[in-house]
Amino acid sequence: MTPATALTIAGSDPGGGAGLQADLTTLAALGVHGTSVVTVVTAQNTVGVQGLHALPVDVVDQQLRSVREDLPPSAVKCGLLGTPGLVALVAEAVRDGLPPPVVDPVLVATSGDGLTTGDVVAAYRDELLPGTLLLTPNTDEAVALLGGGVVTTRADRRAAAGALLALGPRAVVITGGTADGDCVDVYADAAGVTEHVSPAVHTRNDHGTGCTYSAAVTAHLARGATLLVACASAQSFVRHQLEVSRGWRLGAGRGPVAHLIDQGAS
């Protein structure tokens, strides 16, 4: 049977833990054919980000047109966009008929390195979020998009999800929060707020969790799931893959999440 097709518009990670590499392997693991548009070439590994090189807008636009003309995606996700011009390009493509995307606003790497500037954050808020299907920030990214504040407790995350929803996306899920030994993802849409809770996985191998989660959501959407079900399924997938890679020894820093490898092959 021909698989569903999904598109990731994101930066590359030569270490294979995040970015396009994480997206494509996650899509494949979940039975979806992944296409990709490269926005930023990074120099990074498990210990940090050593360089960022955003591609020209016209080069990214040409890639996007090539994919859309021949392999139209059923679902789309955006990762690292890197410049206001690239954010604007994606926003214009959505207005031109590209499926409203899952937006993982990659602003800070797992290592803690900053990946964007304030003008990029403003472009997200002003141009892309009104056309976004699902926004998937972690707590640091939620703070950046809201222009400040503190997002630590469950109540903070619920309030922040509501405030982000007011910026225009159809739904928001703030990922990565923990409470009482659990991972608590806070999902908000017009119907209200829902918490997706699963046992936290204590591991140093968590490089690319945000990319993996948003790609898993996109895969489930491409296969016809609702937003709420796609988010719950993605959380389960990420938890399982963190368990698979928990004992790995790859790199000197924050190692990668298992994407395509399952327990039986670990």
Residues above pLDDT 90, as percent of the chain: 85
- pLDDT tens readout for residues 113-135: 556 668 999 999 999 999 999 99
pLDDT score for 193: 95
Task: Identify the CATH number of the domain defined by range 5-260.
Answer: 3.40.1190.20
| Phi/psi at 55 (5° precision) | -80, 155
Q: What is the mean pLDDT of the chain?
A: 93
Structure tokens given for 212: 């993996």
Does pTM top 0.85 for this prediction?
Answer: yes
Distance CA 158, CA 203 (A): 26
- pLDDT tens readout for residues 247-264: 999 999 999 999 998 854
Q: What is the helix, strand, coil percentage profile of the chain, to 5?
A: 40, 25, 35
pLDDT score for 266: 32
**For the chain, domain boundaries:** 5-260
Distance CA 88, CA 98 (A): 13
